[in-house]
Amino acid sequence: MSDPSALVIVVDDDPLVCSALDSLFRSVGLRTRVHATAREALDVGLPDAAACVVCDVRMPQVGGFEFQAALESQGSDVPVVFMTGHGDIPMSVRAMKAGAVDFLPKPFRDQDMLDAVNAALERWQGRRAAGAGAAVARERYGTLTRREREVMEGVVRGLLNKQIAAELGIAEITVKLHRSSLMRKLEVRRVPELVRIADALTAGERPT
């Protein structure tokens, strides 16, 4: 598994399924938390650590899709693996469009479930890594002067120094100085690295 310390949150109104999944995940070293209803899981909340949800689609009161929507409304991006004993193609398509990692019909093979959970935890780790990268990029971007940001925009667009100079109405040597300074502040050496910084910044609002 990608992270043995990760938490798998199982939500299913069938106690036999909950017990079986609890044993399965613990057998590979994962921590588990089991809930009989989505409402119960929502009331307890989610940890700010590696986690994923394994949830039945059809449950009383709050179903799996509604549960996922409620998590998103709370600002959670925890990956979800859906399972159901009454699945069909439209339902599976809906699940995947909603961002589910996988959609497993019951009964499923233990290995299929473990593979799905591993993929979910890898997605969680990827999102956190991307978020951390964006935070660093925003912090460094915040140290740039207004003119350095303008020069950066031109470089990222693929403009030559003389073209940036013409757009900004400054000397080409001044563009070169600003370019050297912003590259140093952003801790990059090549334009492709600068482009990746710009892409990371699109993950959130740039500081003013």
Q: Fold for 142-201, please state it.
A: Arc Repressor Mutant, subunit A (1.10.10)
Give residue-wise pLDDT tens across range 173-205.
999 999 999 999 998 888 888 888 887 776 554
Kindly state which CATH superfamily the domain 7-132 is placed in. Response regulator (3.40.50.2300)
Give residue-wise pLDDT tens across range 42-99.
988 877 778 899 999 888 889 888 998 888 888 787 899 999 887 666 777 777 776 7
**Domain range summary for the chain, segments of one domain joined by +:** 7-132, 142-201
> Do residues 200 and 135 touch, judged by C-beta distance below 8 A?
no
CATH topology identical between 7-132 and 142-201? no
Q: What is the dihedral of CA 90, 95, 101, 103, to 10 degrees?
A: -50
Q: Which two tokens stand for residue 143?
A: 């140290």
Q: What is the pLDDT of residue 207?
A: 41
Cα–Cα distance measured from residue 83 to residue 52, given in angstroms and rounded to the nearest whole number: 13
Host H or E run for residue 114:
helix 110-141
